[in-house]
Structure 1
Amino acid sequence: MRITLVGSRHFGVTTLQMLRGHDVDVVRVVVADAEDRLAMAAREAGIEVVVQANPKLVVASEIAGGTDLIVTAHSHARIAREALAASRLGGIGYHPSLLPRHRGIAAVEWTIREQDPIAGGTVYHLADRMDAGAIAAQDWCFVGKGETARQLWERALAPMGQKLLAEVIDYARAHNALPAKPQDEQFATSAPALAS
């Protein structure tokens, strides 16, 4: 399976490491910043790196030819419809909430702010609307008393993302398709960036 990875930062790097140990071919890494640690890790591994022309949008020409699946890992860019069409199975991303709850850039922070007793993660199909595509896999965890957003992310949600992405990729390899369950819009909430 040929994968184009779009992402950044530590979660992008750990996702790259997971993919490389998972019997798939990461054919290209797409980043918004040429100096991002994911770009550096990809170059060290001999993987082609492409820097997005627009940091908010990934276009079809930035997806490697012959891509079977686009995987996003800590990317805040929208994947254009034409870019998704350039990939045989489309694309998936990981969102650190039980979608459709807490759609947006600050999902973990809103989980803490809303005092949710349960948190979770979702691997979802990339679509025109951010965080609104069909659900491919979900899992949940309890939120610890007094836990911060960063602590929750590092303890449970980031490792959960790696596990769920690996499960969905295994499913895609075995079935030549992605699992898909529509999100229930009546439960959708927004998680916009919080003022510092």
Structure 2
Amino acid sequence: MRITLIGSRHFGVTTLNMLREHSVDIARVVVADNEDRLAATARAAGIEVVVQANPKLVAASEIAPNTDLIITAHSHARVSREALAVSRLGGVGYHPSLLPRHRGKAAVEWTIKEGDPIAGGTIYHLADRMDAGAIAAQDWCFVKKGETARDLWERALAPLGLKLLAEVIDYIKVHKTLPAKVQDEQFATAAPSLS
């Protein structure tokens, strides 16, 4: 299986490491910033790195040839419809909420702000609308009293994302396709930046 990984920062690096442990071919890493730690880690591993021409949009030309699956890991860029079309299975991303709840950049912050007793993570199909694609995998965790968004992310949600991505990779290896369950729009909520 050939993967193009789009991402940044620590979660991008831990996703890259998890994919390497699952013996997939990481054909290319796409980053918005050439100085990002994901770019440095990929180069050190001998993986091709491409810097997005537009930090808010991933173009088809930036996806590696013969990509089976695009994975996003801490990327705020939209993957264009044309980019998804050049990948055999399209693309998936990890969102740190129980989609369709808390769609948006500040999902973990909204989980804390709204006092949700339960949080979770979702591997979802990349689509035109942000965080609205079909669900490939999902799981939940409790939120501890007094926990900050960062605490929740580091303790539970980042590890959950890696576990779910690994499960989806293993599913694809067996079934040659991606699981897909349509999100129930009646439960959708927004999680815009709180700044």
TM-score range, shorter chain: over 0.9
Q: Which residue of 1 aligns with 2:90?
A: 90
Query: C-alpha distance in 2, partners of 1:92/1:165?
Result: 9
Q: Which residue of 1 aligns with 2:57?
A: 57
Query: C-alpha distance in 2, partners of 1:46/1:153?
Result: 29
What amino acid does structure 2 have at the position aligned with 1:106? Answer: A
Query: C-alpha distance in 1, partners of 2:130/2:174?
Result: 27
Q: Which residue of 2 aligns with 1:139?
A: 139
What amino acid does structure 1 have at the position aligned with 2:85? Answer: A
Q: Which residue of 2 aligns with 1:12?
A: 12
Query: C-alpha distance in 1, partners of 2:7/2:130?
Result: 15
Give the structure-2-normalised TM-score: 1.00
Q: Which residue of 2 aligns with 1:156?
A: 156
Q: Which residue of 2 aligns with 1:35?
A: 35
Q: Which residue of 2 aligns with 1:183?
A: 183
Q: Which runs of 5+ in 1 are unaligned?
A: none
| Deviation readout 1:38-95 (Å, 9 max, x if unpaired) | 0000000000000000000001000000000000000000000000000000000000
What amino acid does structure 2 have at the position aligned with 1:81? Answer: R
| Deviation readout 1:163-185 (Å, 9 max, x if unpaired) | 00000011111111000000000
Q: Which residue of 2 aligns with 1:173?
A: 173
Q: Which runs of 5+ in 2 are unaligned?
A: none
Over the aligned positions, Cα root-mean-square deviation in angstroms equals 0.3
SS of 1:123's partner is strand
Give the structure-1-normalised TM-score: 0.99
Query: C-alpha distance in 2, partners of 1:175/1:130?
Result: 27
**Shift, 1:23, TM fit:** 1.1
Please state if 1:118 is matched with 2:118.
yes
Could you list the runs of 4 or more consecutive aligned residues of structure 1 that deviate by over 6 angstroms after TM superposition? none
